[in-house]
Each structure stands twice: as structure tokens, then as C-alpha cells.
Amino acid sequence: MAAMKLISLRSVHKTASFHFSLRQNPIHRNFVRAFSAIMSPPSMAVVYDNHGPPDQLTKIVEIPPVEIKENDVCVKMLAAPINPSDINRIEGVYPVRPVPPAVGGYEGVGEVYAVGCGVQGLSPGDWVIPSPPSFGTWQSYIVKEKNVWHKINKDTPMEYAATVTVNPLTAFRMLQDFVQLNPGDAIVQNGATSMVGQCVIQLARTQGVHSINIIRDRAGADKVKERLKYLGADEVFTESQLVVKNVKDMLGTLPEPALGFNCVGGNASTLVLKFLRSGGTMVTYGGMSKKPVTTSTSAFIFKVSKSTLRIIVLNK
């Protein structure tokens, strides 16, 4: 899985992730376990008041201190990614989204700064992630109830801890939930360079499952293919390579895939379907092209005539 670049909060509009590195005065550096009402430090946050273009609407503001109640945990955020779904939430096009005004972000990793007097099992200095993910991780301090936070090993690389919840788990569940895959089986996916796509390749490899991967035509495509094969991909094709009469001739000794993943839509989803065996399943979990999922008439007539071609839309 590609490492997440950690950068200054001030560059959040133009990059894929950010790192909180705010200067603290001496009193803020002292960890606190309170037996009376205490307050969090003021927090710097990336907020938006309305839905629309993130580069125009997001702003960095200071949020006043928040009371840390009996069962609350105050977490100093260390790193958080910017996922495509985060951008879609700000734009107002993602189905699951907070009502603005809101703080951006949905996952990340932080260090426990202080705990309420009733909290057991977490102490200042512990590393935690929100589990399940929760809104508002693009801020320097977060105060939420203890049951929101899951303690993790501090030896975990920060960029992995910050990104473990959304993309790797999506890949894992898709490989587990729709088709019983056995060693020697194959899957096919478009969007193979996405974080989910890269996780699918690696997880499939550990299960002994072959992966056929489709990427966009681009400059440096050969280097992209090499990188994906290094991760464990069996085959990597550009979309233009698949403009042939029978794509399955390109599989060589690999079996026809039983399962396909589509995160692009449009013609890219048709390419996934072309590879699937009769009775195969295609799971759609994204639509980066912003085009409808399309399929050929022959896929419905001839594949469905033998068994059932399933097309599943997954809301991750």
C-alpha cells in the first residue's frame, strides 16, 4: 500500500493528506487525567459552511476549547487522509454526509491527550483511531466518548494507521462477502491504482487468488504496471489494450474471473464484465468517471442464459 505523504495543515486544499504539527505551549504538553471538569486545548480545524467546491469553500478556523466530560477522551490528531469520498462529502454529492457547517475528514490516527474521570482502558499517550470512522477528523483536537476510539499499537507506521479503516477494509470485505473465492480463482478490477485497488491486489495475493487489473491509458503506464505487479498483480492492462474482439484470449493460463470490482463506471465497467465468467459477480463501489455503469447486450443474453450475472452496487 502506498505511503501517505504527511504535510502541513495549511496545504490541505491541494494535497492528498495532512499532518498536524501545531506548536503547543508548555501547559498543553502536559498529559492530564482529570477527576474534575477539564477543557480541551483550542483546536485548528478545516471547516466548510456550505456544500460546493472544496478549494473554494474550506477554511481553517480555531475552535474554542471543549469540556471533557466523564466518559470523554480528548485526542490530539496526528494524521488524516483526504479520500475521494471526503471531497464528495464537501461537494454534497456523497449520500452519507454531515450537515454543514461541518469539519472535514472521516478517518485518521491520533494520540490520547486527556481522558475523563470515568474512562478506563485508555491513557494519555495511547494511539487511537475512530472505529467505526466518524466525521470531523480534520482538526487538531477531537473530544468524543470513549466508545468511539479504538486503541492501536504505537509501532504501526503513522500513514498506515491513518488510512487503515476506509480503503483496506473495503477491499477485504469485497473479497469476502460476495463470492466464495478459493486459491487459484481470479478476480478482475478497474481503478487498480486506487488505494482500494492496491489493497485488493495484495489481499488477493495472500489468499492465492489471481488478479487481472485495468488501468487508464496514461504517460508512464509501463512503470505503473511494474509497480502493481510488484504488489502482486498477475496481469495489468490499459483500457486501450482491451479494445479487442475477445479479451479472454489475453488471460493465458489464468481462469476466467468469478468476481469483478468496478469503481469507475462508463466503458471501464463494461471491460470488467467482458472478463467475467458466466454467472460472475460485478461489485460497483465507486463512480470516478461520473458516468453510468454500462454493459453490453451480449453479457445479458449469453451470460445470463447459462446462470445469473450479478451486478451489485456497494455503498461503502
Does 160 qualify as catalytic in the annotation? no
- The one catalytic residue in 94, 106, 160, 230 is 94
3-state SS, one letter per residue, for the chain: CCCCCCCEHHHHHHCCEEECCCCCCHHHHCCEECCCCEECCCEEEEEECCCCCHHHHCEEEEECCCEECCCEEEEEEEEEECCHHHHHHHHCCCCCCCCCCEECCCCCEEEEEEECCCCCCCCCCCEEEECCCCCCCCECEEEEEHHHEEEECCCCCHHHHHHCCCHHHHHHHHHHHCCCCCCCCEEEECCCCCHHHHHHHHHHHHCCCEEEEEECCCCCHHHHHHHHHHHCCCEEEEHHHHCCCCHHHHHCCCCCCCEEEECCCEHHHHHHHHHCCCCCEEEECCCCCCCCECCCHHHHHHHHHHCCCEEEECCC
Could you list the active site residues? 94
